[in-house]
Structure formats: C-alpha cells, structure tokens
C-alpha cells in the first residue's frame, strides 16, 4: 500500500508494513497502529499526535525532527529508537509493556513520562529530565542513568536498575526493596544481613 496522503485523521492501520517506507512530512492525528512494522521506516519530520502504537515493531526508524505529541506505545518492540533526534517541542510519550533496546533518551525533557512494566535494555538516559516519571514494574539491563533528573519519579517494583545518587537527582523518588540497594552499588560497600 502506498501512503500518498499528507494527513491521516482517525484511521486504524492493522498489520500494515511501513518498513523502509518514506513517510517524511506525513501527519497522523488520532490514529491507531496495530501490529504494524516500522523497521527502517523514514519518519523524518512526520507528525504523530494523539496516536497509539499497539504491538508494533519500531526497529531503527529514522525519526529526525519527527513529532510525538501524546503518543502511546503498548506492547511494542523499540530498538534503535533514538528519541533524542526527534522534535522536542510538545514531546509527550507513554510506554507500557514495551521492549526497549538500544534506545537513546539523552538530552531531552521527558517529565511525567510512563515506562510501565517495560524491559529497558542497553539504553541511555543521560542529561535527561525525567521529573515525576514512572518506571513502575520495569526490568532494566545495562541501562545508563547519568546526570538525570529523577526527582519524584517512581521505581516501585522495578528491577535491575543501577542509579548512582551522586550523579543523578533522586530526591523524593520512590523505590522498593530489595532493588533499592542498587543505589549503593557505586559506594563499594558491603551489605551484610
């Protein structure tokens, strides 16, 4: 299928193959993408507003200057989704039950962002403003937090994170045991029962 329209409103795309398709400058408003493939899709300067991606594959899309305003990703695979390259104006995204691998969330403002029950692997949050965000129930592996604003964020029931409070702001953040002990990993101390 060719996507020749410049704007799409309230449309539902089911199992569409957008892989390697050029969607530059296309606008999607209040659309649903169900089980779609966006591998290597060209989404430069595309506009997604009030959209939902459900069970989609977003592997290495080109998202330079793309806009994601109030966009929900549910049960999606995101790999190489370097959101720091997208348009930061009105950036608002939510993730639930997603597998997020090798993604870069550095140098952006993502206040109140939800990463609920996600698997976050080999990803970066460097100089990221995550004030009031939720990582509830998420599983981390080899993910870097550095100079991140995590004030008032929640990591309840999250596991595998390594956050150094000397280089990240964790004031009033919420953590649960036993993984809260990971906050001490940079201090080279031994915890004895």
Q: Does residue 173 lie within any of the structural domains? A: yes
C-alpha span between 126 and 56 (Å, rounded): 26
Asked if residue 81 and residue 51 are part of one domain, the reply reads: yes
Asked if residue 81 and residue 116 are part of one domain, the reply reads: no
Q: What is the pLDDT of residues 137-182, one digit of tens each?
A: 999 999 999 999 999 999 999 999 999 999 999 999 999 988 887 7
Q: Does residue 119 lie within any of the structural domains? A: yes
Asked if residue 91 and residue 15 are part of one domain, the reply reads: yes
Q: Does residue 3 lie within any of the structural domains? A: no
Q: Does residue 163 lie within any of the structural domains? A: yes
Predicted local confidence at residue 189, as pLDDT? 67
**76 contacts 94 by C-beta, under 8 angstroms:** no
The CATH number for 69's domain is: 2.160.20.80
Asked if residue 110 and residue 84 are part of one domain, the reply reads: no
Asked if residue 116 and residue 92 are part of one domain, the reply reads: no
Asked if residue 24 and residue 57 are part of one domain, the reply reads: yes
Asked if residue 109 and residue 148 are part of one domain, the reply reads: yes
C-alpha span between 187 and 183 (Å, rounded): 9
Q: Mark the ranges of the chain whose per-residue pLDDT is less than 70.
A: 1, 186-187, 189-191, 193
Predicted local confidence at residue 96, as pLDDT? 98
Give φ, ψ of 187 to 5 degrees.
-95, 0
DSSP of the chain: -----SEEES-EEES-B-TT-B-TT-EEES-EEES-B-TT-B-TT-EEES-EEES-EEES-B-TT-EEEEEEEES-EEES--GGGS--TT-EEEEES-EEES-B-TT-B-TT-EEET-EEES-EEES-B-TT-B-TT-EEES-EEES-B-TT-EETT-BS----TTTSB-TT-EE-TTGGGGGGGGGT-----
Asked if residue 174 and residue 140 are part of one domain, the reply reads: yes
Give φ, ψ of 49 to 5 degrees.
-130, 130
Predicted local confidence at residue 183, as pLDDT? 79
Q: Does residue 14 lie within any of the structural domains? A: yes
Q: Does residue 191 lie within any of the structural domains? A: no
Whether omega before 178 lies within 30 degrees of 0, making that bond cis, reads yes
Asked if residue 133 and residue 68 are part of one domain, the reply reads: no
Q: Does residue 193 lie within any of the structural domains? A: no
Task: Tell me the residue range of the domain where 50 lies.
Answer: 8-96
Predicted local confidence at residue 182, as pLDDT? 76
- Structural domain count, the chain: 2
Predicted local confidence at residue 1, as pLDDT? 64
* pTM metric for this prediction: 0.93
Asked if residue 123 and residue 172 are part of one domain, the reply reads: yes
């Amino acid at each position: 299928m060719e996507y020749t329209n410049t704007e799409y409103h309230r449309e539902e795309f089911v199992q569409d193959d957008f892989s390697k398709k050029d969607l530059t400058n296309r606008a999607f408003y209040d659309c649903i993408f169900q089980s779609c493939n966006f591998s290597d899709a060209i989404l430069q300067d595309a506009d997604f507003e009030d959209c939902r991606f459900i069970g989609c594959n977003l592997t290495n899309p080109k998202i330079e200057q793309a806009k994601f305003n109030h966009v929900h990703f549910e049960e999606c695979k995101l790999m190489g989704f370097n959101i720091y390259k997208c348009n930061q104006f009105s950036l608002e995204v939510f993730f639930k039950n997603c597998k997020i691998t090798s993604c870069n969330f550095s140098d952006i403002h993502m206040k109140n962002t939800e990463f609920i029950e996600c698997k976050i692997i080999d990803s970066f949050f460097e100089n990221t403003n995550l004030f009031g965000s939720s990582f509830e129930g998420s599983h981390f592996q080899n993910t870097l937090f550095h100079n991140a604003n995590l004030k008032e964020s929640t990591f309840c029931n999250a596991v595998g994170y390594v956050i150094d409070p000397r280089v990240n702001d964790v004031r009033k953040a919420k953590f649960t045991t036993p993984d809260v002990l990971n906050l001490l990993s940079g201090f080279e101390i031994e915890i004895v029962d």
